[in-house]
């Protein structure tokens, strides 16, 4: 989905220099692609509404994570951040901390656009790194389980061949030979039948 969005953005962005000089590049992209002020206004409004909804959901999820972390005494002032409002039944202190931090970081853009862009790039890089680490751990675990399954199958198929008969005890030899035949029969039973 992200790749499709990036390809669409690159195809419709127009001259890169003009987009970089614009204070709001996505508005410039809409204006260049649509060539209509009402259409540009409509698409910009949709973008702003979507950004507001994403911000609300991000603040809600981050505040709950902050509350859960503080409940386990993992943050400074955990006793206050882990409190639930008696009337609203919400982690109000965690929500206020998250909203205040988000507002403060947004105000950095007024002082220095470069600093704000650097903070956004750092947070995006950290987010992608967490995704990559999680996917790598899951992939490694599945590969280990696959190799273990193949090793067990190979060990079970060769188990009968690893047994050696005892020549000093004929009865024991007959007993081992009987178990050897049973193992081979079980191995042949486990083999897939041709269709």
Sorted by where each begins, the domain ranges of the chain are: 113-161
Q: How many CA atoms lie within 13 A of 13 on its CB side?
A: 18
| Pair 98, 60: CB distance under 8 Å | no
Return the pLDDT at 182. Answer: 47
Torsion of CA 21, 23, 29, 30, to 10 degrees: -150
Give the pLDDT score at 27.
85
Residue spans of the chain under pLDDT 70:
1, 159-195
Question: pTM value?
Answer: 0.55
- pLDDT, residue 191, reads 42
pLDDT of res. 162: 56
| Distance, CA of 22 to CA of 34 (rounded, Å) | 17
pLDDT at residue 169 in the model: 46
Helix-then-strand count for the chain, H and E: 8, 0
- Mean per-residue pLDDT over the chain, rounded: 79
Cα distances (Å, whole numbers) of residue 175 to 166, 167, 171, 172, 187: 10, 12, 6, 5, 18
């Amino acid at each position: 989905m992200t790749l499709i969005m990036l390809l669409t953005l690159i195809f419709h962005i127009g001259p890169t220099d003009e987009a970089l000089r614009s204070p709001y590049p996505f508005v410039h992209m809409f204006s260049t692609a649509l060539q209509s002020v009402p259409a540009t206004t409509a698409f910009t409004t949709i973008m702003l509404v979507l950004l507001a909804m994403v911000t609300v959901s991000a603040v809600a999820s981050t505040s709950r994570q902050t509350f859960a972390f503080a409940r386990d005494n993992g943050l400074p002032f955990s006793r206050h951040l882990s409190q639930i409002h008696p009337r609203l039944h919400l982690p109000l202190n965690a929500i206020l901390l998250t909203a205040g931090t988000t507002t403060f970081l947004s105000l950095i853009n007024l002082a220095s656009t470069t600093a704000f862009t650097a903070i956004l790039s750092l947070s995006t890089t950290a987010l992608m790194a967490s995704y990559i680490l999680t996917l790598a751990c899951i992939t490694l675990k599945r590969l280990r389980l696959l190799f273990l399954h193949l090793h067990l199958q190979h060990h079970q198929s060769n188990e009968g061949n690893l047994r050696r008969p005892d020549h000093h005890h004929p009865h024991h030899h007959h007993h081992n030979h009987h178990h050897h035949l049973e193992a081979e029969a079980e191995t042949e039973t486990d083999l897939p039948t041709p269709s």
